[in-house]
Amino acid sequence: MTEAIDRRPIPETQTTVTLEYRVAMPQPESHLFEVTLRVGGWSEDRLDLKFPVWTPGSYLIREYAKHLQDFGAEDLEARSLVWRKVSKNHWQVETAGIADIVVRYRIFANELTVRTNHLDGTHGYFNGAALFFFVPGFDRQPMRVQIVPPHADWRIAAALPEVAPQTFQAADFDELVDSPFEIGIHRRYDFHAAGKPHSLVVWGSGNLPAEKAIADIERIIEVEAELFGGLPYDRYLFLLHLSGNGFGGLEHKTSCTLNYPRLGFRHPDKYNRFMQLVAHEFFHLWNVKRIRPKELEVFDYEGENYTPSLWFCEGTTSYYDTILPYRAQVYDLPAFLSILGKDLSRFLTTPGRRVQPLDESSWDAWIKLYRRDANSDNSQISYYLKGEMVSFLLELLIRRHSDNRRSLDDVLRQLWKRFGRDEVGFSADELKGILETVANTNLDDFYRRYIFGTEELPFDEYLEPFGLKLKAQTDDRLPFLGMRTVTNNGRTIVEFVEAGSPAQKAGLDAGDELLAIDGIRVSGEQLNERLADYRAGDRIAVGIFHQDELRTLRVTLAPPRPSTYRLVRVDRPTATQAQLFEGWLGVSLSSL
C-alpha cells in the first residue's frame, strides 16, 4: 500500500511536537466551521499539511478539501507565514525556524449525511476526515481538540474522552477521524447494557419512542456482546440524526452515527428497519472496525484502499442485521422471514447479479456502488446484498455440515480471536481458511461459483435440509415490460430499463418521459393496471418524449415474471429438517 511509502518515518523529535485543534462556529447559520490547528515544537523549515479525501466506512473519494476556504498560517504574534498549495489536498507552510505555528481555515458544512459535516442554527456535526488536516509523519501521536460552542445551551457529545473542559483527546489521527462530534441542542439518554455505559444522543424531532427503542437497543447490545464474548470498549455512543427522509449509518470503534426519517418509527416495518440499522452499525464495531481486511489495516487518507473482502465486512454484517434483532426478540419469526424474503426478492430481481462477481463488486466500490447510474442494476450487484445472500448460504452450509453444532457465529469468533482482538488485518485467503475450518469442507468450488463467479445462488439446495424453500410470486395478469418509472414534477420518467427486456429492445431509455399506451395517457401509478389489460405477445404503442422528441415505440410484451420471493416450509418436512430448522432459529418448523 502507498501509505507506508508516502508518509515519512516518524522522526525522533516527534514527542516534542504538539498538535491542538480548535473548532469554533461563531455564526452557525453560515454553515462555516472555523478551525485552528496549532503546531508546537516544530523544528523543520517546512510544514506539510494534508487533508483526507475519504473517510473509512464510506468507500468513495469525496475530496473533503473542496469545502475548505480562507486558509492562512501565522506565528504566535500573528505574523503571516508564506504558504503554497502543492496538490488538491496538500498545503505547505514555510516555517523558517518558527517553533509554534497557527494554521487557520474555514470549512463549509451543509451536507447532512453520516459521513460529511453539517452546521446550522440548531447544531454542528462533523467527521474528523472532513474537518482536520493531518501532518504527515506526526499522525501516530496524541492530539487534542477544543470545541467552542456558539451558545451557552449547546452541549457536546463525543466518543473521545474529555480531558479538560470542552477539550478532548485522541490517541492518534485514526482515532480522531473515527470519533464524530455532535454539538448543539439534543436529547441525551444514558443507559447500561452488558455491564458498560452507553448513550443515545438524538438531534431533531420525530416520533422515536425513546424508552422502547432503548430497551430494544440494550437487548441488541447484549446479544452481540454474547456472540463475541464481551464488549471491547469502555463506553459507547449512538448519535442519531432525525431528518425528513435521510437514511444511513456510519460505524466507528466506540460510536456510530445514524440518520433516519424523523417519522419512521410508528409503523412496525419501519421501526424494525431502524433496529436493523442499529444492529448493523453496532456489529461493525467488531466486523470491519477491528476485524478488518489487510488492505484496510492502515488507512491511506489520500487514496483508495482496494480490497476484495468488503462483501464480508458489509454483506455478513447485513446478514446479521436481519437475524440479530430476531435473536434479541425485537421482532418475531414472521418478521424475520419477511425481511429476509424482501432481500432475497431484491437480489433475484437485480439483473446485474449475473454480470458482476462479488469480489469485483467489493474491489470496485470506489467507482461503482456509490456512483450509481441508469445502467447500475444491469451491470452491478451490491456487495451488501450479494454478500448478505452468500453469508446466508454459508450459515446454512456450516450448520448442515455440523448438525448445528457450529454456525457463522464461530467464523466471527475465530476471526475475532485471530485478527480482531489485536487488530491484525486478514487476507482474503485467511478469511477463506477460517470459513473452511468452521465449515469443515473445502470451499474452492463455492468461491469459484458464487464469489469469483456469477452463477445463480442455489437457494433451494441450501434451504431444503432446513425444511424451507423459496416460493416465487408472479402476477399472472401482468405481462413483462422491463422498466421502472418515477414521478417527477407530475411527469412519469423512466428510471431503469432492464437489459434484454421488451422495453429495451423497443428503444426505451432511462430519462424518457412516459406519455401514453395505445394513445391513452398513462401515469406511473397506472402503468401496471394498464399492462394487465394486455397479454404476453401483444404489441403495444408506447408514447414517450425522448429528450425533446415525441416518439411512439412498438413494444412486444413478454410472459409474466416473478416479482417477489418468499421463504416457505416444504410440503412434508422430515424430523431431520425440523431439527435443523429449530437449531438455527430456536422455534419449531411447524410454527411456520
**Contacting positions for Zn ion (CB under 5 A):** 314
In whole angstroms, how close is the CB of 507 to Zn ion at the nearest point? 39
**CA–CA dist 31, 67 (Å, integer):** 11
What grid cell was written down for 9?
518515518
CA torsion sign for 358, 364, 370, 376 is: negative
**CA–CA dist 176, 283 (Å, integer):** 21
In whole angstroms, how close is the CB of 313 to Zn ion at the nearest point? 7
In whole angstroms, how close is the CB of 62 to Zn ion at the nearest point? 17
Q: Which is nearer to Zn ion, 276 or 378 (CB)?
A: 276
Q: Which is nearer to Zn ion, 57 or 465 (CB)?
A: 57
Q: Which is nearer to Zn ion, 302 or 343 (CB)?
A: 343
**CA–CA dist 492, 576 (Å, integer):** 52
**CA–CA dist 265, 250 (Å, integer):** 20
In whole angstroms, how close is the CB of 171 to Zn ion at the nearest point? 24
In whole angstroms, how close is the CB of 287 to Zn ion at the nearest point? 9
In whole angstroms, how close is the CB of 317 to Zn ion at the nearest point? 5
Q: Which is nearer to Zn ion, 276 or 501 (CB)?
A: 276
Which has the closest alpha carbon to 144: 173, 106, 121, 184? 173
C-alpha 367 chain-centroid distance? 15
In whole angstroms, how close is the CB of 314 to Zn ion at the nearest point? 5
Task: Calculate the CA dihedral of residues 471, 475, 479, 482 and round it to 10 degrees.
Answer: -60
In whole angstroms, how close is the CB of 255 to Zn ion at the nearest point? 14
Q: Which is nearer to Zn ion, 315 or 352 (CB)?
A: 315
What grid cell was written down for 33?
466551521
Instruction: Tell me the backbone φ, ψ of residue 417, rounded to 5 degrees.
Output: -70, -40
Q: Which is nearer to Zn ion, 311 or 480 (CB)?
A: 311
**CA–CA dist 473, 93 (Å, integer):** 65
Q: Which is nearer to Zn ion, 57 or 352 (CB)?
A: 57
What grid cell was written down for 153?
445551551
Instruction: Tell me the backbone φ, ψ of residue 520, rounded to 5 degrees.
Output: -115, 130
In whole angstroms, how close is the CB of 283 to Zn ion at the nearest point? 8
Q: Which is nearer to Zn ion, 314 or 360 (CB)?
A: 314
Q: Which is nearer to Zn ion, 312 or 565 (CB)?
A: 312
Residue whose cell numbers read 410484451: 557
Q: Are 94 and 83 in contact (CB under 8 A)?
A: yes
Q: Which is nearer to Zn ion, 339 or 463 (CB)?
A: 339
In whole angstroms, how close is the CB of 412 to Zn ion at the nearest point? 15
Beta-strand pair 143-148/18-24: parallel
Beta carbons within 8 Å of 284's beta carbon, 6+ residues apart? 57, 251, 256, 313, 317
Q: Which is nearer to Zn ion, 315 or 467 (CB)?
A: 315
Task: State the residue number with the nearest CB to Zn ion.
Answer: 314
Instruction: Tell me the backbone φ, ψ of residue 163, rounded to 5 degrees.
Output: -100, -15
**CA–CA dist 198, 221 (Å, integer):** 10
In whole angstroms, how close is the CB of 429 to Zn ion at the nearest point? 23
Instruction: Compute the 3-state secondary structure of the chain and give helix, strand, coil in percent, each to the nearest 5.
Output: 35, 30, 40
Q: Are 92 and 44 in contact (CB under 8 A)?
A: no
Three-class DSSP category at 480: strand
